Amino acid sequence: MKSTVLSSLFAASVLACLAPGASAQTRPAATPPASQSQQKPQPQQAPTQKPATRPATSSTSSEVRQAATSVERDLGIFRDWVNDKIDRAETGARRDLPRVMDEFDYQSKRIDKAVDSLSAQGKREYGNLKSRYHNWESEQRRLQEGASQPRTAQQAQTEMLGENVNLAAARATEMHDLYGRFIDYVRVNRREWDEEDWAVASNVLTKLNTRYEKVREQIPMEERLRIRSWQAEFRTLEKAKQTKKALDE
């Protein structure tokens, strides 16, 4: 009986020692935190590729187009200018010849700087315009030199004004009469004049105008108005002669 009890106690002790290990073996594995269990490995992102950089567009073509447009515009202005000067009355143009020559130099130099931007047709036109102008200028110089010769000019002046007058010393009281004689002579003789005759008459008128400007304030207003009308009449007759010549050619 005593041995049986001891056996039972021994068995119970053994079971008690074995119980914690068994419970440890049967205990479920600890559940990781929700944040850890739900965290998924992030997919590796491909390296961001920068868009291919386009090569900078060259501004050369744009500059070339702008240069071509500019020189074509200058050529158009030059064309109108040459045509205007050549179509003007010859003697009127000669009075302004120094200024006209300066204008030609200014405009032609602008085009010369960019002449390579002109088309083949534009270059031909530009060359033709320059040739026309140079021929016209040479003719103006020839006529001007002939009209400015002292003997020829003095003879023409005496004939047109009816007396040998020193216009540089003419008095204000004489100007109205001198202009009247001059325009009367022009009206009567102009139909028979050639270019050189018109050049001589223009030279006389230039001298009259120069003296008139110096004594104008001493001339009565009524006479001044009449003198101005005669000045305009001469320019009109001169222009009409030039227009007729152009139509006859």
| Whole-number Å distance between alpha carbons of 84 and 76 | 12
> Is residue 143 domain-shared with residue 178, that is, in the same domain?
no
> Is residue 157 domain-shared with residue 198, that is, in the same domain?
yes
Domain end (from 92, 118, 147):
147
Q: What's the whole-number mean pLDDT along residues 45-73? A: 63
Is the pLDDT score of 11 beyond 80?
no
Look at residue 52 and tell me if it is in a domain.
no
pLDDT in tens, 176-196: 999 999 999 999 999 888 888
Q: How many domains is the chain partitioned into structurally?
A: 2
Q: What was the pLDDT predicted at 87?
A: 76
Domain end (from 82, 112, 147):
147
Residues spanned by the domain of 228: 150-241
| Whole-number Å distance between alpha carbons of 236 and 244 | 12
Q: Which pTM value belongs to this model?
A: 0.44
> Is residue 131 domain-shared with residue 163, that is, in the same domain?
no
| Whole-number Å distance between alpha carbons of 126 and 130 | 6
Domain end (from 118, 147, 176):
147
pLDDT in tens, 138-157: 888 887 776 666 656 788 89
Look at residue 159 and tell me if it is in a domain.
yes
> Is residue 136 domain-shared with residue 201, that is, in the same domain?
no
> Is residue 154 domain-shared with residue 237, that is, in the same domain?
yes
| Whole-number Å distance between alpha carbons of 81 and 89 | 14
Q: What's the whole-number mean pLDDT along residues 107-123? A: 91
